[in-house]
Amino acid sequence: MGFERIGFVNSKSENAVAAGEALRKRYDHVDPEDADVIVVLGGDGTMLETLHTHFDQNVPLYGMNRGTIGFLMNAYREDDLPALLDRADHVGLHPLRMTARTIDGGRLEANAINEVSLLRETRQAAKLKISVDGKVRLPELICDGALVATPAGSTAYNLSAHGPILPVGAGLLALTPISAFRPRRWRGALLPSDVELQFDVLEPEKRPVSAVADYTEVREVTRVRIVQNHDITLTLLFDPEHNLEERILNEQFVS
């Protein structure tokens, strides 16, 4: 069954704007809010922004790379777009839900498709206590920060912090330290995706820490809880010959 209402979203880069204009001229389209599939033109940042913007719309997104990084994007092609959409593989992603509490008693929730990061705000290292399903697993981690990544986000910030690459469908999350000082040899953990993670910030006023869910930042947090929200499924479309599973597998064999 083909998609009847195609919407287009493009970044502000010159290549993406030109691609958007060309595709809108060539194909019938509707506003993205009224679409049953959205074609995203840009890089991974544009895809993440579009996923967040249309979080509650429950429509699949098909990305075409017109940016600098395109791990979540397909190759750009103008011909036979309806056929490309019809034969695309569907990949479901579950976002992380972050609940953060702050020094002044505030509480904020945000969703993350890639990762939730805790980062030191000043020159002093952060001190974090890490609990998994209510049990303290690391009483004190002295570090620049730590992050929790989904499989889709495992090749982004997580990989730069020397975290593991996770295949989609593995049912895992990556818990990765950022410049750990003590325990010096701790390299993180692989966790089942149904766990509840809790970070308690030790000495939060002396050593302030911020929490970032993709690009939603909360300053001066004291406690951050993270769970994967299995009630929400975000759908990305990939060309069969170059799907997300294959990209993640390939990424583990590049030097």
Domains of the chain plus CATH, in order, are 6-93+233-251 (3.40.50.10330), 96-228 (2.60.200.30)
Confirm if 60 and 237 have CB atoms less than 8 A apart: yes
pLDDT for position 207: 97
Mean pLDDT calculated for residue range 139-166: 93
Q: Around Cβ 254, how many Cβ atoms within 10 Å?
A: 5
For all residues of the chain together, what is the average pLDDT?
92
pLDDT beyond 70 at 6? yes
Instruction: Please give the backbone phi and psi of residue 207, each rounded to the nearest 5 degrees, phi first.
Output: -125, 70
pLDDT for position 168: 78
- Torsional sign, CA 238, 239, 245, 251: negative
Catalytic residue among 28, 34, 36, 44: 44
Structure-block tokens of residue 190: 């692989």
- Strand-pairing partners, residue 234, are 93
The residue ranking higher by pLDDT, 250 or 108, is: 108
pTM of this structure: 0.85
pLDDT in tens, 45-59: 899 899 999 988 889
Structure-block tokens of residue 76: 């750009």
Residue 17's Cβ-side half-sphere holds a number of Cα atoms within 13 Å equal to 3
pLDDT for position 243: 66
Rounded Cα distance between 74 and 141, Å, is: 39
pLDDT beyond 70 at 1? no
3-state helix vs strand vs coil in the chain, percent to 5: 20, 40, 40
pLDDT in tens, 10-24: 999 999 999 999 999
pLDDT in tens, 79-128: 999 999 999 999 898 999 999 999 999 999 999 999 999 999 999 999 99
Tell me if residue 44 is catalytic: yes
Confirm if 156 and 44 have CB atoms less than 8 A apart: yes
Torsion (CA) 160, 232, 30, 114 in degrees, nearest 10: -10
Rounded Cα distance between 40 and 191, Å, is: 31
pLDDT for position 96: 97
Percent of the chain with pLDDT over 70: 98
- Identify the band that residue 255 occupies on the pLDDT scale cut at 50, 70 and 90: low
- Lowest-confidence region among 84-93, 146-155, 177-186, 238-247: 238-247
Rounded Cα distance between 49 and 33, Å, is: 14
